[in-house]
Amino acid sequence: MTAEQYAQAVREALADHPYRDELLEDLDDHLAEVAAESEVPLEERLGPPEAYAAELGAAYGDKPQERRTRFRLGAARASLAGHPAFGQLAAFLPELRPGWWVLRGYALAMLLISAAGEAQLVPDALGEFALVAGVIWLSVVLGRMPRGRWLRITSALASGFAVLALMLGFLGAQSLSRSAGPSPLAYQEPVTVDMMASVGEISNIRPYAKDGTPLSDVYLYDQDGRPVTTNPEMFGYTVDRSCGEPVLNRYPLPLRLESSSPESTQAPAACPTASPTAAPSAIPEVAPTEAPTATSRPESE
């Protein structure tokens, strides 16, 4: 390790020292002087750079607790620094900083705007655009300043708030996109046609095509995607379950009068070959377990 490398390692170990530049001002000259005196490598004469840095910090005066964590961080960095991938990453990360300053400024400005009024993700007034530009400018200026203790604290606070604002923004955007429309996969509570508001009483709905052809297996939904159902039981009808549990918003419903004998409706006009797969996915799956018990099979008796 040359005197320059040794000095660099000490500098890195003291990276977080509040007065590092002041303290290490003459370090290079000093170490060069020490190195010039003897052929013995600096590590052997002065110990590892991290220990040297710790001793420097102790003699100069700083908080021992902080120094210990710094020491460990410094050692970890020193062992990582030998890895080429780490070197590339370390060289690349500073290039991202200007981008972060801009994003930080934007997030802080939107946090301010949202705190003052309605929560929003983009500025929509001239004053708001000006504020956003101003805060971004401040954030960049703050990022470019030489680092002192107070500046570092301010900068960390600003970044913390910006991260908070970004997370709030992402959450807000996500819930917005969710509420934009009903998800076809979500189960919706059925709505019942309002009997009182409608003309007369509705127990069933018989849809027809415009040429007069009666339609069957028509699924009805309201404006929110909820299945539209009637309440046939109120009018003395029961839903025919001989073909299994029917879908209650598929019209016309298979109804029969409760009073009528089972024989009269016995001939179960061919059960609609309901293929649940063809139905929109919002329809609860038909459970066909009850069906066979209700259907009589004369030839077997």
Partner 1 sequence: MDSTQLLKGVLDLAVLAVLDERDGYGYDVVRRLREAGLEDVGDASVYGTLRRLFKAGALTSYVVASDEGPHRKYYGLNDVGRDQLASSAATWTAFAATMADLLKERRPS
Least distance (Å) from partner 1 to the CB of residue 23? 5
| HSE-CB for 241 with a 13 A CA cutoff | 13
Whole-Å CA distances, 36 to 2, 4, 29, 130, 283: 11, 13, 10, 59, 86
- Closest by alpha carbon to 66, among 16, 10, 20? 16
Nearest distance, CB of residue 36 and partner 1, angstroms: 5
Phi, psi of 125 (to 5 degrees): -135, 160
Rounded Cα distance, 217 and 250, in Å? 5
Q: Give bridge partners of residue 208 from the DSSP assignment.
A: 214
Q: How far is the CB of 165 from partner 1 (least distance, A)?
A: 40
Q: Is 9:56 a contact under the CB 8 Å cutoff?
A: no
Tell me the closest approach of the beta carbon of residue 145 to partner 1, in angstroms: 22
Nearer to partner 1, 34 or 112 (CB): 34
CB nearer partner 1, residue 20 or residue 104? 20
**Minimum CB separation from partner 1 for residue 106, in Å?**
40
Nearest-angstrom CA–CA distance, 211 and 216: 14
Alpha-carbon gap, residue 143 to 151, rounded angstroms: 9
For partner 1, the closer of residues 7 and 253 by Cβ is 7
Q: Whole-number minimum distance, CB 54 to partner 1, in Å? A: 8
Cα radius of gyration (the chain): 38
The least CB distance from residue 155 to partner 1, in Å, is 25
Q: Based on CB atoms, which residue is closest to partner 1, 20 or 250?
A: 20
Q: By the criterion CB under 8 A, which residues form the site for partner 1?
A: 19, 22-23, 25-30, 32-34, 36-37, 45-46, 52-53, 55-61
Residue type (1 letter), 282 = A
| Nearest-approach distance from CB 99 to partner 1, in angstroms | 37
Pair of tokens at residue 189: 């509570």
> Which two structure tokens, joined as six digits, stand for 118?
């309605």
Residue 236's alpha-carbon distances to 85, 190, 231, 259, 299, in angstroms, are: 78, 21, 10, 8, 33
| Distance separating alpha carbons of residues 62 and 66, to the nearest angstrom | 8
- Whole-number Å distance between alpha carbons of 18 and 81: 23
Nearer to partner 1 (CB atom), residue 10 or residue 113: 10
Residue 48 or 246: the one with the smaller Cβ distance to partner 1 is: 48
Closer CB to partner 1, 27 or 158, in the complex: 27
Helices (H) and strands (E) counted in the chain, each on its own, are: 10, 6
> Considering beta carbons, is residue 57 or 227 the nearer one to partner 1?
57
